[in-house]
């Protein structure tokens, strides 16, 4: 849902800054650019297409039947381009905030950022299941005929697939960034002894 996609993109950026904290603390530009590049690779290939797919195919669900009253995103020609700009600004903003917090030695504050966003996302979904568990158009939602998410097989399959892709990407990119940092610390400690 748009209301959580953007904050989650921000949170993932902060999470990846946490994973790359050892590289970022070294202050070398090549480590910084490699880490932010990986953040953007993840956002492009493992995340950004998910909300776009659901915006195009399940607009009512993706906007949680709020604020946008038309049945299709095509009624709002600037919605998808503006969403993409905001999405990537948030994703990179989260990384930049994470980098700043890590460089100031405030790793706990950075962790509170992405854990807080994760908590917000869970509360958003589970505190209003009358909206978030319904797919269909805004008109169907208002009429009380919007089906539950598991009743639409295509939606359910795509949701499961997208969560697998997203989760796999988060784990792989997090572990790679973390592993690169371990390698750098080991090399640095060898030089000083």
Convert the pLDDT of each residue in 130-150 to its tens digit: 999 999 888 899 999 999 999
Convert the pLDDT of each residue in 33-88 to its tens digit: 999 999 999 999 999 999 999 999 999 899 877 778 898 999 999 999 999 999 99
How many other C-beta atoms can be found within 10 angstroms of the C-beta atom of residue 30? Answer: 9
DSSP state letters, 123-141: HHHHT-HHHHTB-S-HHHH
Q: What pLDDT does residue 185 have?
A: 56
The whole-number average pLDDT for the span 23-40 is 95
Residue 191 has pLDDT above 60, yes or no: no
In whole angstroms, what is the distance from residue 170 CA to residue 103 CA?
Answer: 22
Residue 65: in which H helix or E strand, if any? none
Residue 193 has pLDDT above 80, yes or no: no
Helix axes 29-42, 79-103, angle to 10 degrees: 140
pLDDT category, 184, cuts 50, 70, 90? confident
Residue 190 has pLDDT above 90, yes or no: no
Closest CA to 90 of 175, 193, 18, 10: 10
In whole angstroms, what is the distance from residue 178 CA to residue 23 CA?
Answer: 9
How many other C-beta atoms can be found within 10 angstroms of the C-beta atom of residue 164? Answer: 10
Q: What pLDDT does residue 64 have?
A: 77
Domain ranges of the chain: 2-192
């Amino acid at each position: 849902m748009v209301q959580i996609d953007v904050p989650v993109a921000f949170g993932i950026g902060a999470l990846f800054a946490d994973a790359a904290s050892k590289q970022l603390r070294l202050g070398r530009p090549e480590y910084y650019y490699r880490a932010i590049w990986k953040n953007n690779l993840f956002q492009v290939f493992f995340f950004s297409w998910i909300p776009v797919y659901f915006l195009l195919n399940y607009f009512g669900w993706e906007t949680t039947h709020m604020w946008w009253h038309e049945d299709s995103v095509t009624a709002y020609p600037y919605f998808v381009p503006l969403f993409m700009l905001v999405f990537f600004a948030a994703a990179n903003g989260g990384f930049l905030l994470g980098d700043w917090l890590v460089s100031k030695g405030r790793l706990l504050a950075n962790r509170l950022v992405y854990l807080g966003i994760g908590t917000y996302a869970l509360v958003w979904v589970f505190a209003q299941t009358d909206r978030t568990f319904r797919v269909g158009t805004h008109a169907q939602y208002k009429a009380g005929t919007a089906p539950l998410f598991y009743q639409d097989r295509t939606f359910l399959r795509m949701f499961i697939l997208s969560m697998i892709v997203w989760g796999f990407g988060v784990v792989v990119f997090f572990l790679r960034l973390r592993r690169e940092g371990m390698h750098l610390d080991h090399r640095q400690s060898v030089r000083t002894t």
